[in-house]
Structure 1
Amino acid sequence: MYKVFIENTPLYFVKNEKGLKSDTFLIKGKPNAIVLKNILSTYRNASSKIRIAIVSDEPKKAMHKLFENYTWVEAAGGIVRDTKHDKYLFIKRNGFWDIAKGKLKKGEDPILGAQREIEEECGISNISFEDKIIETYHIYDTYGKDVIKKTFWYSFTYEGDDKLTPQIEEGITKVKWFSKTSLDKIRYNTFASIVEVMDAYSHFKQS
């Protein structure tokens, strides 16, 4: 299964209906520009959360086909755990809590790119790679150009005492460590894709 977040709501790409909720609207057949236009209109005008799934023998190929006229961008970031205090690093960007991440440079390894972005955006250094969490996709418009962003998410650990410094020029106004019991504060003021990453991280830690 693949998900592309549109207006903070996922569009699913699946091989079959297994695991989908009964109220999911199914689209079968080859996706095209007309299908995409109708999907976007439905998501943007919906008065409540809806579920749409495109059913295909090759979900990933169907996703790429549907968004073939979009500019594809790759980014990377991750959740950092302070192993000394068992706390987790989050940023506040444009009024919302978020996970540090940023666009990859051409040819840059996603793990190294995630590490670079986290350290730049948060003012810390020497974080250590732990594992891969998940990949997410979401679309947005920038200066009239349609973009789909694929983000690689990783887990990192940290043992230092650097003073947290937000990268103001990137719209970041706060960087903060959160205890596990206070993570609901993030969930109440963030994006659905970030909740997806947090859930995947929790599942990874429990497995």
Structure 2
Amino acid sequence: MYQVFVGDKPIVLTDKVELENGFKNYLLDTVNIGKVIKELSKTDLKEVRLIHSKKEKLLKKFLKKLPNVIAGGGKVYNDNGEVLFIYRNDKWDLPKGKIEGNETIERTALREVSEETGVGGLEIVKPLETTYHIFKRNGRHKIKITYWFEMKTNFNGDLIAQQNEGITKVEWLNNGRINEVLKNSYANIKLLV
């Protein structure tokens, strides 16, 4: 099962058909993805489920429905066990950004975290869950596929928000503060944290 978010509402990709209760079922092969996005955005529908009989083909078939944007990002820990967060578009988020040229996704994640936050000395510890969300740019919907990595650093210099990317704050947050800021974050970030 995969979840692709439209705002904070999921499109669930599944091979199981269940009785509709607060959600709608559609067949993945024939669904009008524009209609699904509109329904999730403009109604009180909680989720949409796209059904396909072959579990292993769910994601591949879905990703053909819209243009894909590939990104890499990091859940970065410092020596105090705090996690690096950014504040952009009135929401708390983890640093991430689009792949450039033929760089590896790991290189993208390291570069973007550093550019968006000013943090250096980053080291990838392990890959985390990949997230999917639909956004609209220049009147067209696209699917952002973000490959996340757990990272660590012993950096203790100044945090520098990349303002030309709309980032207004960068902060190291402890567990108590993380729980507080997640109330004003994105569904896929809540899954990661």
- TM-score of the aligned structures, taking structure 1 as reference length: 0.84
In the other structure, the counterpart of 1:31 is 29
**Following TM superposition, by how much is the alpha carbon of 1:51 offset from its aligned partner in structure 2, in angstroms?**
2.4
The alpha-carbon distance between structure 1 residues 29 and 143, as it changes in their structure 2 partners (threshold 3 A), is closer
Instruction: Decide whether the 8 Å contact of 1:24 with 1:53 is kept in 2.
Output: no
Instruction: Decide whether the 8 Å contact of 1:122 with 1:167 is kept in 2.
Output: yes
CA separation in 2, counterparts of 1:21 and 1:158?
47
In the other structure, the counterpart of 2:47 is 51
Say which of 84, 88, 95 aligns to 2:90. 95
The alpha-carbon distance between structure 1 residues 185 and 46, as it changes in their structure 2 partners (threshold 3 A), is same
The alpha-carbon distance between structure 1 residues 43 and 178, as it changes in their structure 2 partners (threshold 3 A), is same
Structure 2: 5+ residue runs without aligned partners? none
What is the one-letter code of the residue matched to 1:149? K
Query: CA-to-partner distance for each residue in 1:51-70, whole Å, 9 max, x for gaps?
Result: 22122133463444345352
CA separation in 2, counterparts of 1:150 and 1:21?
29
In the other structure, the counterpart of 2:102 is 107
In the other structure, the counterpart of 1:154 is 149
CA separation in 1, counterparts of 2:104 and 2:86?
23
Instruction: Decide whether the 8 Å contact of 2:130 with 2:148 is kept in 1.
Output: yes
SS of residue in 2 equivalent to 1:183:
helix
The alpha-carbon distance between structure 1 residues 117 and 192, as it changes in their structure 2 partners (threshold 3 A), is same
In the other structure, the counterpart of 2:162 is 167
In the other structure, the counterpart of 1:176 is 171
SS of residue in 2 equivalent to 1:120:
helix
> Is it true that 1:80 corresponds to 2:76 in the alignment?
yes
The alpha-carbon distance between structure 1 residues 110 and 32, as it changes in their structure 2 partners (threshold 3 A), is same
What is the one-letter code of the residue matched to 1:74? I
Query: CA-to-partner distance for each residue in 1:74-130, whole Å, 9 max, x for gaps?
Result: 0010111012x2211100012211100000113221111101100111001111111
Q: What is the root-mean-square deviation in Å for CA atoms of aligned residues?
A: 2.2
SS of residue in 1 equivalent to 2:184:
coil
What is the one-letter code of the residue matched to 2:3? K
Kindly report which structure 2 residues correspond to 1:63-74, keeping only aligned pairs within 5 A, or say none. Answer: 63-66=59-62, 68-74=64-70
The alpha-carbon distance between structure 1 residues 87 and 66, as it changes in their structure 2 partners (threshold 3 A), is closer
What is the one-letter code of the residue matched to 1:41? K
What is the one-letter code of the residue matched to 1:80? V
CA separation in 2, counterparts of 1:76 and 1:157?
15
CA separation in 2, counterparts of 1:190 and 1:179?
16
Query: CA-to-partner distance for each residue in 1:151-176, whole Å, 9 max, x for gaps?
Result: 00110011121211111100001100
Query: CA-to-partner distance for each residue in 1:135-159, whole Å, 9 max, x for gaps?
Result: 0111111111221110001100111
What is the one-letter code of the residue matched to 1:111? E
Structure 1: 5+ residue runs without aligned partners? 199-207
**Following TM superposition, by how much is the alpha carbon of 1:192 offset from its aligned partner in structure 2, in angstroms?**
0.9
The alpha-carbon distance between structure 1 residues 65 and 184, as it changes in their structure 2 partners (threshold 3 A), is same
